[in-house]
Amino acid sequence: MPRFSVIVPSHGVAGRLSRALDSILAQSFGDFELIPVCDAPESTAADVARERAGRDPRVSPVYSPPSAGLAGARNAGMAAATGAYLLFLDGDDVLVPGALTALDARLTDTGGVDVLYFEYERMPWWEGEATNPAAPLLAKAPKGAFTPDRAPALTGVQLPAWSAVHRRAFLAERDLVFPDGHFTDVGFGARVAARAERVAVLRSVVVRHMARRQGNRLNLPGAHHAELLDQTELALADAAGLGLPAERRGPLFEQLFAAVLKTATDPRRLTRGQRRAFFRRASRLYRQYRPAGFRPPGGRVGVQYRLLASGSYAGFRTLRAANRAAGGAVA
């Protein structure tokens, strides 16, 4: 059994796939299998994957149709994986040198965990400074391995799937797969964090995430943003069904609705006709799943939480207009 299975969906990024695969094959730690997930055997990505497989037996391409989306591609890779730990890497991102060595050392040091979260570097493809969005989220985590109750802010919502390694047997035993649709990382990450019994963090960069010039589709306008509410409902219903304590459901609830409000207040993501329906459904979810004793954050963002709680779209629209007039949409 290899130590790691690295799963790399390739739909829409065939032109950059070589760089991603080569960053894995060049790792100094060699106990891994590499599973590129291609659209079809005759696709450009499949040609790239076959070329690597022809010269390295650790490469084993599998196929998933574009209609299955990112979730389907990752699930196809999971079904084929045989490694002890799964690492998901987007086909236009790369592993930094020494990444697998660092992950192996941390896993050995902790004695094995269900989930190991790590930092990543966000690097624009064109120009600009690199950032490390995960660092503040992981900074306060306990040392060594710990139970999720000791770090309730690690809800799985704010970290993408490629910012963690997952023990394959843990995912299989609990039937954890990526849910269909956009924002699949939200539903998957929340369900994983809710069930993990031992977690740890690695305070170093493992993945270099290459931000595209044209932007992530999840930031572009369209009806697909309603699927964020699907994933939010999935995560909240799951947490309620598991009976997670309020001290863990509170951070999950707050982080999910921070993402919901970011979409609701961004004029680029929803059309005028979509905003009211989005707000009304978000308000229903807010009232249905609000944990006992939950207190909204302060400031303008807290006002938005309270407007969601009351279901006042008129008030929300007025606040959004006032904020835009004062200097732009609220983040």
Q: Can you give the pLDDT at residue 331?
A: 37
d(Cα 89, Cα 93) in Å, to the nearest integer?
7
pLDDT in tens, 288-325: 999 999 999 888 888 999 999 999 999 988 887 776 66
Q: Can you give the pLDDT at residue 214?
A: 47
Percent of the chain with pLDDT over 90: 77
d(Cα 196, Cα 156) in Å, to the nearest integer?
10
Percent of the chain with pLDDT over 70: 93
State the span(s) of the chain assigned CATH 3.90.550.10: 4-215
Provide the CB-side half-sphere exposure for 277 (13 A, CA).
10
Sequence-distant (≥ 6) Cβ neighbours of residue 215 within 8 angstroms: none
Band of pLDDT at residue 129, cut at 50, 70 and 90: confident
Q: Can you give the pLDDT at residue 154?
A: 97
Q: Can you give the pLDDT at residue 327?
A: 57
Q: Can you give the pLDDT at residue 13?
A: 85
Rounded mean pLDDT of the chain? 92
Q: Can you give the pLDDT at residue 124?
A: 81
d(Cα 25, Cα 30) in Å, to the nearest integer?
8
Architecture of domain 4-215: Alpha-Beta Complex (3.90)
Band of pLDDT at residue 65, cut at 50, 70 and 90: very high
d(Cα 325, Cα 329) in Å, to the nearest integer?
8
The pTM is what?
A: 0.92
Q: Can you give the pLDDT at residue 330?
A: 43
pLDDT in tens, 176-216: 999 999 999 999 999 999 999 999 999 999 999 987 644 55
For residues 325 and 115, the model is more confident at 115
Answer whether residue 34 shows pLDDT above 70. Answer: yes
Using the structure block, give the residue that is written with the tokens 């574009």.
66
Torsion of CA 267, 269, 274, 277, to 10 degrees: -90
Q: By the 8 A CB rule, do 59 and 86 touch?
A: no
Beta bridge partners of 5: 33, 86
For residues 125 and 182, the model is more confident at 182
Answer whether residue 116 shows pLDDT above 50. Answer: yes
Q: Can you give the pLDDT at residue 213?
A: 46
pLDDT in tens, 265-275: 887 788 888 88
3-state secondary structure of 115: strand
Length of the chain counted residue by residue? 331
Q: Can you give the pLDDT at residue 220?
A: 67
N-terminal to C-terminal alpha carbon distance within the chain: 45
